[in-house]
Structure 1
Amino acid sequence: MWSKLHMANMEDALERAGWNWAKDLNKSKEAQQMTSTELAWDLEVLCDSEIETTGVQLQIFVLAYLAFPEWVVKAQKELDEVIGAERLPDFDDISQLPLSSGRG
């Protein structure tokens, strides 16, 4: 059952326009030595790890927001002053974002 689902997801991803992990891994040297089922399962591990880590980060943020809403306001002010509304922060901004980078 799971292998069929993973295979269907991989095949769907390989047919989509644009870049994705399935296409990238499929072209790799390592993938040439794998069966399509092994490749599909490896891709699913990548997807699962992304989903779980994102979910945990969102849970931590919500808990922190509920416990310390005043810090969220301070962090938002810091982001607005340094970054503005036109872009996302990047690694070059860390030195100017003590609260958002966990140093404040």
Structure 2
Amino acid sequence: MQGDQCSLGRVKRLMRAAGLYAISSRKYKVKQEKSEITETRNLLLNEDNRPTAINQVWHSDITYVPTDEGWLYLAGVMDSFSKYLAGYSRAISRAYHAVIIKRYC
């Protein structure tokens, strides 16, 4: 370990004295509760209709990644049986992700 050990309060005090401040980012607010997502997923795939071979059920998802230049949109398609990623796409525009479903389906 390098340097000296000190408390968080001391670091804050020293930074304030030097005119330095930490840059904190705004936290992203989740728009849907995880319990709602899980409940919906369980309704769609119950024990009766689980896949028995590859390419029967695919899952897709889009996530938004905040960057310094703006949002990066990442979409992926996964095979439910094999758990392999069938394909993914990234873009700086949300409109592009409608294409990923057409490309891999």
TM-score above 0.5, yes or no: no
**By percentage of residues, which structure has more strand?**
2
